[in-house]
Structures are given as C-alpha cells and as structure tokens.
Chains A and B, each alone.
Chain A
Amino acid sequence: MLAVENLAVNFGGIKAVDGASFDVRRGEVFSIIGPNGAGKTTVFNLISRIFDVGAGRILFEGADITRIGSHQVAALGIARTFQNINLFENGTVLENLMLGRYRHDRTSLWQQILFTPAVHREKRADRAKVEEIIELLELEKYRDSRIDGLAYGVRKVVEIGRALATGPKLLLLDEPSSGLNNEETNDLVFWIEDIKTDLGITVVMIEHDMGLVASVSDRVLAMNAGRVLALGTPAEIQADPDVIAAYLGD
C-alpha cells in the first residue's frame, strides 16, 4: 500500500534519512523502532509532506506522492499524529475532531456564509461520524472541554481521534504511548487492534515501548542513523544482532 524507495533528506549537512526503503502492506500494523535521532519521525514528516524529499520516492497505492503539497495528503487517505501533540489548543475536543472531517466537506464559501441546508446536512453527517470515534475512544465526558485544560494522556487520545476522524486508509502514529501509564497503554493496544480489524485501517507506528510493539505489530522495521537495519516480524527483530547492538541492548 505504501512504498518508500531510497528515501533521503539532509538538514544542513546531517543526513537525517539516508537511503531508507521499505513497504507497508494493506491492513497490517507496521512498527518502526530505533534510537532517538534514527530518522523515524523524519520519515513520517516526509510521508506527510511536511519536509521536502532530498532523494528517493514515496508511493501510495501505486501513485507517486513524493512532491505533493502537505495539505493534499489527507485527501489521499493518510492521517497522522504528532510526537509532541499538535492539537488546536483554543478549541474543544469536539471542535478538534470535527476539523478532522474537513477533507470531506464540499460546500462553498457562499453556501457557508448563508448556512444553507447543504451546510447543515454536512455538519450533521460530520457530527455523526465524530460521535462514532468519541464512542470508540471513550471521550464522551471531554466533548466540550478545551484542549488547553486537559491532561496529557487525554490529549494523546484526542490526537488519535482527530486523525481517525479524517477517515484514513493509512494511519501514522508517532510514539502514541509516550507519556502514557500502563493502563492507558493497555487501552492503546485494544484501540490499535480495533482500528485494524473493525475499521480496516493500515497502521504505521513509531514506538519505543517494545511490549506494545510486540503485542500489536505484524512486522517491525528497525532504523538507525537514517538507515534501515532490519525488517521482519517482532520476534525476528528482537533476535537480530544488529538491532540488539544498536538499540535493544543485551
């Protein structure tokens, strides 16, 4: 579904990503692990087109998306969460989630200024979809809370919810469990499984929590210094000597 070929990018002399290639199959949960600075988030930023690619290609469902604009990624069905949480602080949880539906809205500016029945219908439809996500992630009691008053764990969940609201085919999760306690991480395991089986969404996840990685992933990619170290099932990766040397320790 997603193919990355010889991807590379430099930031002022530092090779953040240096010839990475991998592919992600439809319907799988694909994890990317590696030490800090390995280039994992940079790969995400390249896929979601926040950074420009230096060399290589990115293919999504057969189409070359290497040079598209970053606002065109959502329309293709790719959604992501951010490592440092990038919610709309001045809005409520509901408003953040509703914004996730933006790419589905088709009404024009004039229709919206006049708030025609078409706009009304669209809003109701969006709200219905968003409520499904609220139910899945158990965010009911936070609907009308402003983001800037919420606890970190809740914010992470809202981030995931907002990404789901875009109705993606591919979901990129950047360190979803960082900052979460054990109970919240367990919830995450269930949610990722639901996302995969019930919603049929392909998941690519950057993670440091090997327990989480092992329990949900179909395949794991290990990166270091911008390059791919190894690719395989969680068991294979955990046994790979290069990976152990670079990252997992003895």
Chain B
Amino acid sequence: MEFVKKTDYDYDIRLFKDRGDVFWYSLLALALVVGPIFAPPYVLTLGVFVGIYVIAGAGLMLLSGYTGQISLGHAAFMAVGAYSSAVLQKWGVPFPLALIASGAFAAAIGIVVGLPALRLHGIYLAIATLAFAFIIEEILTRWEVVTNGPSGLMVKTMSFGDWPARTPMDKFYVVLAVAILAMLGIKNLLRSPSGLAMMAVRDSETAAQAMGVNLARTKLTAFAVSAALTGFAGAFYADAIRFISPEQFTITMSIELLVLIFIGGIGSLHGVVYGAIFVVALPQLISQIKDFLPSFIAEQPGLEAAVYGFLLLFFIIVEPLGIYGIWMKIKHYFGQFPFYKKGELKRNKTFAKAERW
C-alpha cells in the first residue's frame, strides 16, 4: 500500500510528484529518444501519426474533456491547420513560420466557432460544431484559387532552415518534441487558475460565474487553444501524408478524434496518449489478424469499421473511463494487494439529471 506523506504545498503543485515519478518518466524519455535509432521506418511512421494524434487529441481533450464543450467537428481545425501549412509553404513561407501560422489561423477559426457556441449547451452545441465542420469543409472545397479544391494539394516536406526533415526518423523527433511541449503546456494550464476555471465551466456554469469566472472568456480561450493545437497537428499531418484534399477531413476523422479521447480515458491527459496509440494501432492490428481469420470475414472492406464501432460501444457500456480507467484499476488492485475486496471498484450507478421532468 502506498502512503504519501506530504510536507509542503509544493507537492500538490509539482508536475513530478516524487522520486518514483521522476524515475519512470525519465525511463520513458530515454526510450523515446534512443529507441527510434533502432526502430524500422515503418514503426517510426506509425510513431509520427501517434504523435500527430496526441497533439490533436490533447486539443480536443482540453475543449471537450476538460471544458465540457462537445466538439463533433474537430477535423475542421485539422483541415485549417493542414491547408494553412501547405498553402503557405507553397507560397515560399518557411516551415517554422507556416507551423505557427497554422496554429494561429486554426485558433482564429476556433474563436469564430466558439462565439455562437457560448450560448449553446449539450446536444445543441454538438450539432452546431458539426454544422460548422461541414461548412468549413465546403469552403475548403470551393475556394479553389487557394486550396486547389477537390483535386487536392501536394505538400512540401517540412524543413527547418537548411535541414529538411525527410526521413521517418527525422519526422518522428520533430513531432515528438512538439507533442511533449503540447502535453506539458496543457498540463501546466490545467494546474493553473485558467485550467481550474475550465473544469468549473464544465461542471457548473452558474457556480463558476459566482466564483468570478468569465464564461465567455474561458470558453473562447478553450476553443482557441484547442483549435490551435489541432491546427499544429494538421500541419504535421499534411507533411506526413504529402498530399491533402478536403475529403480527408470529414466527420469520419472527427469521430476518430472523439473515439481517441473517449477510449483513452476522458478527463485524463494520459488517456490522450493511450487513445492515440489505440486509434493508430487498431487498423494495423486488424490487418495482422486478417491472416488468421476465415477468408469470408477477412476480405470484408467493412471489417475495420465494424471492429471500431463495436469497440466504441463496448467501452462506453463497460468501461467509460477508457484505457486509463482500466490502468488505474489494475494499479489499484496491485496497490491494495492482498487486501483488495471484490466490488471495491464497482461503479456506482449514476443517474444523470434528466433535462426535463
């Protein structure tokens, strides 16, 4: 059993709580820095996508998981980021600047979406975000002068000054660095007043206002930061797949992002990483398993989607806390061992307040 003896307030404020934390995270950092040298390019490319989805997922988690604003159309911010980066680079802007601009443009769009959303809640908010996503997608399709419309756009390889990040390993390190910075930034935000304010807005708008939280400013900040992060992810996405077109950023991608934060574990930043790994690894796993399945199942084009849908339902009904929740339960069990009592972790039946009587 673990006892924590706290001796000063800094314990609760610090990022790394104790020696144990520092040890494990250092090990992880070592693995991430040294590992890529030995990894095959195929794995590194997957790693790049995991990093991209971690950045985008962190953005969505901030908005929907922590501030409680459901966003069904987050792919739109990916698209804005991807197209900003691709178009600016086409016009000769160096990548680092294009990257920052992608985030800035996405943040601006985030505020545009957030403004009408200020007065909307629950399902209305969700549907509004969906509507915005459709409209943004259509604008990108029709604005052919800039985006080349449905024919799509080739994307230049990202480069920093004279150094092009061409190989999977190069790309991996770049995305890794940005992903770590993004996660740190969000973690910092969440343990500061603004982050607490966002969670307050999620749990009770009235009480938050009574504490002096400016709802409009908090929600718009969440939209802007969330969109900016997703925009960055979009820029890297464009670089990774080399060719973008509007039909890649549809509701399917938005759903992928939502699945990411849900299955990873809503309300936990670790969940973003688990979710990103899940979303990127699942199609790979399925193609591996195909060899072991009877042919009439294996050859179905809908197999992946079927597994996806099924797993989503499964997690929602059985483990709404996601992979992070499962991990916490395992840790708890071993932490309590051998005193674990059956039923200790059984979820209490909760009854959400009905909207109407």
Contact = CB atoms under 8 A, between A and B. Distances in A.
A100 B191 CA distance: 14
Nearest to A73: B210
Interface stretch (A18-26, A111-119, A228-236): A111-119
A169 interface: no
B215 to A, nearest CB: 7
Contacts of B196: 95, 98-99, 102
Count class of interface residues, chain B = 20 to 34
Say whether chain B's binding surface is mostly helix, strand, loop, or mixed: helix
A48 interface: yes
Given A112-B193, A115-B192, A166 B212 contact: yes
A95 B211 CA distance: 13
Count class of interface residues, chain A = 35 or more
Given A95-B199, A107-B193, 15 more contacts: A69-B214, A74-B210, A86-B210, A88-B200, A102-B212, A109-B189, A109-B225, A112-B188, A112-B189, A113-B188, A115-B188, A115-B191, A123-B192, A124-B13, A131-B9
B240 to A, nearest CB: 26
A71 B209 contact: yes
A243 to B, nearest CB: 30
Nearest to A127: B9
A192 to B, nearest CB: 19
Q: Closest 7 CB pairs between A and B?
A: A74-B212, A103-B212, A112-B192, A88-B203, A115-B188, A105-B193, A86-B207
Given A113-B185, A114-B188, A48 B211 contact: no
B204 A86 contact: yes
Interface in A57-76: 69-75
Interface of A: 48, 50, 69-75, 79-80, 82, 86-91, 94-95, 98-103, 105, 107, 109, 112-115, 119-120, 122-124, 127-128, 131, 162, 166
A128 B9 contact: yes
A91 B225 CA distance: 22
A88 B207 contact: yes
A74 B206 CA distance: 12
Nearest to A98: B196
A70 B209 contact: yes
Contact of B197 (A87, A99, A119, A128): A99
